[in-house]
Amino acid sequence: MKDAQLRAKIPVFQRGETSMMRTRFILVAAALMLAPEARTQAPPKAVPPAPARAAKPGPQPANVPGHPKLVVMIVVDQMRADYVDKFRGQWTGGLKRLVEQGAWFREAAYPYAATETCVGHATISTGALPATHGIVANAWWDREAQKMMACTTDPKAKNAGYAGTAAKGGDSAWRLRVPTFTDELRFQSGAATRVVTFSLKARAAIMLGGHKADAATWADGGGWVTSNAFGTLPFIDDFVKAHPIKDDYGKTWTLSLSSSAYLYDDKATGAVAPEGWDLSFPHPLRGKGAGSEPDTEFYGQWATSPFADTYLTKLTENAIDQLGLGKSGGIDYLGVSYSSPDYVGHAFGPRSWEIQDTYVRLDKDLEELFKHLDAKVGAGNYVVALSADHGVVPVPEDMQKTGADAGVLHMPEVQQKVEDALKAFAYTAPAVAQIASTDLYFSAGTYDKLKTDPAAMKAVLDAIRSVPGVADVYRAEELVDRPATKSPIRSAEAASFFAGRSGDLLIVPKPYWLSSSAPADKKRDYGTGHGTPYYYDQRVPIIFLGWGIQRGEYFGEVTPADIAPTLASLCGITLATRDGRVLSEALLKKAIPEKSTAVQ
């Protein structure tokens, strides 16, 4: 599934809610402590900066603070774990520092099938899986509203733009069914804690920030946006006015290294470049018509370039300075989700010069960010966690060159097969309300009828399995409550399933088959996607660096759901619920002095 959020010129492909909840979620919801007045449309609140205090030059062995002063959560959208092994020789800065000085978990992977942006960020921030936190996709079919609903859409929230940006709709984390690490950090550690997040995507910034972030900021329509569910930061308005995105208009993305330093062909097989670009470098940021002013296509090009990552880094550094993060007397939280690697990966795929150069430049951006944190907070006073929300499917046309069975699974063909199968049983058409990614939702009453009609049900399942690219299909009742199974695919689908939001039928593509919402006779407008239960989508890096971390390489099986429990342990915080564990093997152990045996 293509994953894109900027509403400028970036297509969005979506996955589907009713009010059915398990008993355990009622208990968790109480922990959120979301008072009724918090759901009203209050104007965004301003967050005052902390008083400026000189940062210590670094940790002293005899005076190490009891907790980190700042938690920095970095998510690199669509970063496959094997990128570290393949591309690390091209890195000299921040990514290299993480790998060489941090705790690198080499076998981290999501244990579920819904490998999408909103889901991954929710898992990282809560320590829970979709079956627990309720975020099953970037968007799903809302059975009550009878329309697609984005994971952050909130009918009681109102978005607001910085520097005159026109904002539409309203977004918050109210669909997230459990508290995040940041929610618990604010509640348990006191008023001194500030929570600030940035991304190009609303779903990334919001899921990292949780229900009550002081500020969550994302890009939209060529500007920057927040919501009255969070706070506003006046200095962002000043920064955006002084440095509008359109200042990057006319720049050209060129290779950072010599051509001999890049793996694979210079033109990625099966790639689909953003409008106005060719399939090889250089890539000019001049929109579709190369006019004198930015157009919609320019903002799409900008988001699909390293210039957007650099902008996000500068914005983040400004927040560190203006808020005095790490100097509040509490434990502050800074979340940054870099979205451009996802846009680049969707367009050019994982075996492209473009994706490699994106990481070369991100390596430089992170080097600058870490040096800034060292100077402002102190090298031993903050802890960094880096991971990704999902991986990516190899471009089908590229995979076909190896002789592998690869292709595109067209969901409109699946829908037509289901409709045709039910004609013989006199079911009312249309029987299918929506296919969101690989979740199939029947029209109201249809699935209840099918469950009492074995012949019709068999006809539907057989019809779906007959479509090229379909490996299997599961009924919702086969996945409820995550049943014990020896099937890794069924287990992954069950870990993604949340009753009332997930589909009636869950379709599993074959390995190396890309699911597409486009009909077979229409050329797709992207190279590849994600959203499957296979390792290329599930496997991501997890690296910790800084306060309380024991450097080294770790080879045990872990998941991104382990990140929040580990950060909570470092900060002395208890999570309301979790599916992950504390990665204690990577935490420094404090020496306990021997007690005197003398009789007092």
CATH number at residue 108: 3.40.720.10
Residue 29 lies in a domain: no
Name the residue range of residue 490's domain: 399-526
Single residue among 502, 526, 550 that ends a domain in this structure: 526
Percent of the chain whose predicted confidence (pLDDT) is above 70 = 88
**Do 468 and 550 have their domain in common?**
no
d(CA 286, CA 67): 47
**Do 425 and 363 have their domain in common?**
no
List Cβ neighbours of 327 (8 Å cut-off, separation of 6 or more). 50, 51, 52, 53, 55, 69, 377
Residue 51 above 90 pLDDT?
no
Residue 550 above 80 pLDDT?
yes
**Do 518 and 557 have their domain in common?**
no
Closest CA to 152 of 284, 12, 257: 12
**Do 514 and 543 have their domain in common?**
no
Q: Quote the number of domains for the chain.
A: 2
pLDDT mean over 180-187: 97
Residue 433 lies in a domain: yes
List Cβ neighbours of 252 (8 Å cut-off, separation of 6 or more). 282, 283, 284, 285
Phi, psi of 189 (to 5 degrees): -95, -15
Give the end-to-end CA distance of the chain in Å, rounded to a whole number. Answer: 69
Place of tokens 């990516």: 392
**Do 168 and 219 have their domain in common?**
yes
**Do 246 and 158 have their domain in common?**
yes
**Do 177 and 214 have their domain in common?**
yes
Residue 240 lies in a domain: yes
pTM metric for this prediction: 0.89
Residue 55 lies in a domain: no
Single residue among 526, 544, 572 that ends a domain in this structure: 526
The letter for the amino acid at 562 is D
Read off the pLDDT of residues 127-138 as tens digits, 9 standing for 90 and up: 999 999 999 999
Single residue among 526, 555, 571 that ends a domain in this structure: 526
**Do 420 and 285 have their domain in common?**
no
**Do 168 and 284 have their domain in common?**
yes
Considering only 188-192, 230-234, 303-307, 573-577, which range has the smallest mean pLDDT? 188-192
Residue 392 lies in a domain: no
* Model confidence band, residue 590 (pLDDT cutoffs 50, 70, 90): confident
The letter for the amino acid at 167 is A
What CATH number corresponds to the domain at position 509?
Answer: 3.30.1360.150
Q: What is the DSSP string of 218-257?
A: EEETTEEEEETTSEE-HHHHHHHHHS-GGGGTT-EE--SS
* Model confidence band, residue 593 (pLDDT cutoffs 50, 70, 90): low
Q: What is the mean pLDDT of the chain?
A: 90
Residue 41 above 70 pLDDT?
no
**Do 283 and 157 have their domain in common?**
yes
- Cβ–Cβ contacts within 10 Å for residue 246, how many? 14
The letter for the amino acid at 3 is D
pLDDT mean over 4-8: 37
**Do 367 and 437 have their domain in common?**
no
**Do 558 and 496 have their domain in common?**
no
Residue 37 lies in a domain: no
pLDDT mean over 530-554: 98
Residue 41 lies in a domain: no
d(CA 592, CA 525): 60
